[in-house]
Structure 1
């Protein structure tokens, strides 16, 4: 058999490979019969590895990374097209590609049509598909999750599948059979802190000093680390500057989401928020944040006081 696994969802790809390897017999013997090759492998080296007879085992495993997504010479591609259908029955040849291959790629077409071939594309889910993935992941582990908690995870972590899987595992252990709610996400996931920062920046953009101050004090009462909150401020205003520049160029949220490779919900929120600031104001705020960083690190100010003064200064009507 030869397999072509391609696409940007490396997490799902690795899970599939692990399941496949798990069916190949004794792990210790399989390890002795495994060869890993990189994209610079020559055809003769690949052929030699794939054609070797397994030693004291039923299967030989050959894994080749990012070979097919490189621009193969026509002669190399021709050799592969001729050789792959003849791969020994005792060999499992895996091509793992971190980029998606075109549907009309001759090697993809071969894997689709050849009895001994198999091809699968792994693409990171986005938007509604990502929320469905979260639900399915939780249910697959015999858990339950509310729609609000699902949306919060999708919005704040996005398609970082490995991180998302770890956060789900942590939530399932904590909830121990109970339905995962947004409160547990806020409590256990550092990424959910961004949701509070969104609300706080909304208040800053609207020059709502009372609400902004209340939200900041609420974070302090919850025990949030002031330095972590500050890092979220820096990240948020850096993103706002990027979105504002694109918005001023006439870009809408869908195009901004694609260009900055961020979740569509996040792009939409940032697009709304940047309307409350001019680009010079955002740049001035960012410079102010950098000066706070210097003052705190040199002992001229403490972070809690600096954050309170920052919120107060930003809500003064422009």
Structure 2
């Protein structure tokens, strides 16, 4: 199948897959003739790309035409759809058309339904921040691919440090590989010493919100933003922490006493943390924690819609702190 549609917000993994496809198909000696990368914002780019893909490759190897950030998955005119239906089946097996987009294709679109019949779709979405088991496996797999061995504590600290940012994960693992002797198992101490992280500040921010301390929370938020902490990653850290607190509170209220059971349900890697988490949530009401998650998700949606983080985040932090004032404590 000579047509591909790669999509998702994990730009690092998506671009790595594109590079792998390019190396597989295109002969480096003939790359200047047989490889083309086009921006997808312009309306006529896709027609131009298809025209090039219909042309047989020169010399050895195959042809690859890559359209970056195509908008065909979100909007497609009737004229463009008709042209896709006419031309895509004609692309020869020696030529390949690659479409990529950070946005999820609209499954209701006629163009997307047609592309699903003609193209190989691959998804490169970010792992949700609260899926700690998936993040743990992702970090282990990435480290193994680089020939590195991680202790469990190191994996947990990396989850806190880089979250679902694959690019930063690879950069930090490469740094660890460079500084440590070969065949050295990477421990939590190595990660703490060498990995760039704002985790402690993020956790401190979550703790001050939990205490309803508006002023201190806004000061910490300002510090994080001045350190160029990505707003969405900051929200992911807060969401993960509040989700953990809520699970611990729900299970504690249900009289669950087994730390192993609580750790598994709350996706806590180390069951020994449960005791300290229970102490943190003991004075809180369940309702206040339940109110926090929708607020965090609303902030995430607003940022993804293009709202200014310098306005959205402080307003959201104030609302979160209000959840945990005197009324939010059990």
Q: What residue is the counterpart of 2:82 in the other structure?
A: 78
In structure 1, C-alpha distance between the alignment counterparts of 2:25 and 2:48, rounded to whole Å: 23
Match of 1:120 in 2: 122
Map of 1:255 onto structure 2: 294
Larger radius of gyration: 1
TM-score (norm 2): 0.61
Query: For residue 24 of structure 2, what is the aligned residue in structure 1?
Result: 23
Mapped partners of 2:185, 2:163: distance in 1: 21
| Preserved contact between residue 143 and residue 172 of structure 1 (Cα < 8 Å) | yes
Q: How many residues align?
A: 242
Q: How does 1:132-147 map to 2 (within 5 A)?
A: 132-147=137-152
Q: Is 1:153 matched up with 2:158?
A: yes
Cα drift, residue 21 of structure 1: 0.9
Residue 8 of structure 1 deviates from its aligned partner by 1.1
Match of 1:62 in 2: 65
Alpha-carbon deviation of 1:252?
A: 3.5
Post-superposition offset of 1:147: 2.2
Does structure 2 retain, via aligned residues, the 8 Å contact 1:2–1:94? yes
User: After superposition, what is the alpha-carbon deviation per residue over 1:8-48, rounded to whole angstroms, capped at 9, x for unaligned?
Assistant: 11111111111111112421312322222222142542332
Change (3 A) 1:56 1:106: same
Q: What does 1:169-180 correspond to in 2, within 5 Å?
A: 169-175=174-180, 176-180=182-186
Aligned-partner Cα distance in 1 for 2:102–2:126: 12
Q: Distance in 1 between matches of 2:77 and 2:205?
A: 54
Indicate the SS of the match to 2:147: coil
Runs of 5+ consecutive residues of structure 1 not aligned to the other structure:
207-229, 263-269, 280-318
Residue 4 of structure 2 is matched in structure 1 by: 3
* Cα distance in 1 for residues equivalent to 2:183 and 2:89: 48
User: Quick check: 1:5–1:122 contact (8 Å CA) kept in 2?
Assistant: yes
Partner of 1:198: 203
Conservation of the 8 A alpha-carbon contact between 2:209 and 2:324: no
**Structure 1 match to 2:192:** 186
1:89 to 90, 93, 96: 93
Instruction: Tell me how large the CA RMSD over aligned residues is.
Output: 4.0
Using structure 1 for the length normalisation, give the TM-score: 0.63
Q: Match of 1:56, SS?
A: coil
